[in-house]
Chain A
Amino acid sequence: MWGIHLGSLARRSAAVLVLAALAGGSCVRNPPPVEPEPTAPPPGAEAAARARPDTPAPRPSPRPTAPQPPPPVLPEEDEFTARSLEEINRDSPLSPVFFPYDSSELDAEAQTVIQANADVLVQFPTWVVTIEGHCDERGTPEYNLGLGERRALAVRDHLVRLGLPASQLRTVSYGKEFPFVPGSDETSWAANRRAHFVITAQ
């Protein structure tokens, strides 16, 4: 649902995205003010506009007054383009895929999530996404490096089957080295058995 919403934004913003990316690193470092004055562009955007006069400076626009029904709430078009990779990833439009214990199988739920992520990625052909494979703490550190790789590859291969270009997708395994949730219970373990999407290039 929000994928469609995003798509309509994305088609218009694709050019802006590319240009913003070309404008260099200065604009991606500084987050726009949370509640911007309508007339004051973010300082980063200003610098970017100066650095490259033909770059349209992103306009801050007010957030939608009516909240979108389901999470995740997508940022507004222009805000999105001005956001750094760090910020986009912090509030990522791409959902993690979860796995059963010691498995890289994609069940129906996992495939639904991957489909939704594919719908987003189709709209942002310039994005490069790294699929991180993670494991829970119960396996050995050595074997888990392979298991994480398998999880990342399984998701990558499924996205390619859905038509995404492999050039847009990278994989990395972190085994059990970077857990998302501390704790030694089934809830934590389940949250850590995942393929996590990180947007590594706009």
Chain B
Amino acid sequence: MKNPSRSFALTVSLALSAAGAVVLTQPQDDAPIPERSQVDLIIGDRIGSQPRFAVPDCLAPGGEPELVSAGRILAQVLWDDLEFEREFRMLPRDTYATVPPARSVTDLPFRAWQELGADGVVSCSLTGLPDGRVSVQARLFNTRSLESAFGVEYSGTLRNVRVYAHELSDEIHRQQRGLEGVARSRITFVSDRDSESALGLVENRRTKEVYVADYDGANVQRVTVSRSLNVTPTWSVNGRAIAYTSWRSGPPDVFISHIYEGRLESPLGGTVEVHNWLPSYSPDGRYIAFTSNRDGNPEIYISRTDGTDLRRLTNHPGIDTSPTWSPVGLQIAFTSNRTGSPQIYVVGVDGTGLRRITFESYCDRPTWSPAPYNEIAYASRTGPGYDIKVVDLATNEVRQLTFGLGSNESPSYAANGRHLVFSSDRSGDRQLFLIGRDGRGLRRITNSGNNEMPGWSK
């Protein structure tokens, strides 16, 4: 650790893998996660400081304008992705002017990068292939040892060059920090950006539809085209389906849209009488918790995703709603107004062990964090509007992430538990924002229309 030559983030195995470019199309499930002590070792010579990284534009050796432009996008997206996890100190890209361009993906002006203060540089290049596709090569170099921490090569189309950057970012975080990044994750939400008047007998009602976007807000795609109200979308565990509440057949019911198959189902038995809303997938993906009026009052139920094995979880004349699963799947947190105002409660999936979690003026939309964190984020009334708070279930300590700027609602965790997405009207319209679980790193990710009720993929 005190030896400067050790520098940051190099293990023998990783350095070896740089010898030949690794073709990576799928992240390897069996990739070893470094032990904690190992991670400590590779942090570098500055104890308590983060290694400083630079991401210059990707080279386009052929000089094709579209590759030059793609190289700039790839580098910027990668820089943003790396900045997002805050594992590295990212040197701003507009400070690289003094550094001459690399001669190739492996021939870098290391001295100049050292002078700029970079400990690591991501070097990448884009080469057109005869079949019209493109080859992306990337290396992460240690500017002091001049070693390549690793190298990857992707090939594919230029249609969504951002995907290469996201893949590369996740790879760097995995190899350098043993961290599962979320650069390739997606966020579903509802928006009125394409709002039409809703079908029905009452005029002046506007639709909301379900959308998905990359975690950074790019690449927005519309999921529902129902000319009705659609709210509370949530991802299935495998990321291939979105469950949401829709009024497309009249009363609210839970629909599951299998987005890669174009298949839509409503397995929970909704009718004109039986209404279901606010679906939430169990961690193993086999069950859905939801709210239903089927026994005459809003209560929490769980059932398999095909509607079988239905079980009622709550039994109280108050409103019980907004269920969310614990990471292991043995407990459910939900909102209930049984003491007069909406508060967060936790109950076992067998209906036992009910306990109250919050003691505030008004709390809703609990979202249980993924492991290893054991906390629940929720919206809490703090004035005229709401703020995002997090309660640590081990200590019962509550920490606040937003502070009265607009009304902040509907938090949802990233798969690695380090970030949340929520909606806020702090800038006028309602928009989606990302924030770290420590309250740092606020980012706005939507701009068009009103966007709300986000769900982060798992």
Contacts and interface: CB of A to CB of B under 8 A. Distances in A.
A147 B386 CA distance: 18
Interface string B231-253: 11000000000000101001110
B272 interface: yes
A146 B410 contact: no
Contact of B322 (A89, A142, A177, A198): A142
Nearest to A174: B229
Contact of A142 (B275, B296, B321): B321
A86 B291 contact: no
Contacts of A170: 251, 272-273
Contacts of B321: 142-143, 145-146
B277 interface: yes
Nearest to A175: B231
B201 A89 contact: yes
A106 interface: no
A90 B204 CA distance: 12
Contact of A86 (B201, B320, B322, B337): B201
A126 B358 CA distance: 48
Most buried by B among A141, A143, A173, A175: A143
A85 interface: yes
Interface in B254-291: 272-273, 275, 277-278, 291
B379 A140 contact: yes
B135 interface: no
Contacts of A141: 231-232, 409-410, 452-453
A153 interface: yes
A60 to B, nearest CB: 24
Given A89-B202, A146-B321, A172 B335 contact: no
B247 A142 contact: no
A200 B199 CA distance: 13
B319 A150 contact: yes
Contacts, number: 97
A172 B364 contact: no
Interface string A31-74: 00000000000000000000000000000000000000000000
A143 B319 contact: yes
B208 interface: yes
Given A102-B341, A150-B319, A172 B208 contact: no
A136 interface: no
Contacts of B205: 178
Contacts of A77: none
B391 to A, nearest CB: 16
Interface in A164-188: 170-175, 177-178
A142 B252 contact: no
A178 B252 CA distance: 14
B386 A140 contact: yes
Interface residues of A, number: 29
A119 interface: no
Contacts of B320: 146
A89 B203 CA distance: 10
B298 interface: yes
Contacts of B293: 149, 153, 171
Contacts of A172: 247, 250-252, 275
A83 to B, nearest CB: 12
Interface size class of B (residues with CB under 8 A): 35 or more
A177 B231 contact: yes
Contacts of B277: 145, 173
Interface in A81-101: 85-86, 89-90
Contacts of A102: 337, 341-342, 362
B297 interface: yes
B278 A198 contact: no
Contacts of B319: 143, 146-147, 149-150
A196 B200 CA distance: 14
A150 B319 CA distance: 8
Contacts of B337: 102, 143
Contacts of A200: 201
Nearest to B386: A140
Contacts of A177: 208, 229, 231
B333 to A, nearest CB: 13
Interface in A118-155: 138-143, 145-147, 149-150, 153
Contacts of A196: 202
A153 B297 contact: yes
Per CB-CB distance, the 3 closest pairs between chain A and chain B, nearest first, are A140-B364, A146-B298, A146-B321
Given A145-B245, A145-B291, 9 more contacts: A139-B364, A140-B409, A141-B232, A142-B321, A143-B337, A147-B319, A177-B231, A178-B198, A198-B201
29 contacts: A102-B341, A102-B342, A102-B362, A139-B362, A141-B409, A141-B453, A142-B232, A142-B322, A142-B335, A142-B410, A143-B319, A143-B321, A143-B342, A143-B365, A145-B231, A146-B291, A149-B275, A149-B319, A150-B298, A153-B296, A153-B297, A171-B251, A173-B275, A173-B277, A177-B229, A178-B205, A196-B202, A198-B202, A200-B201
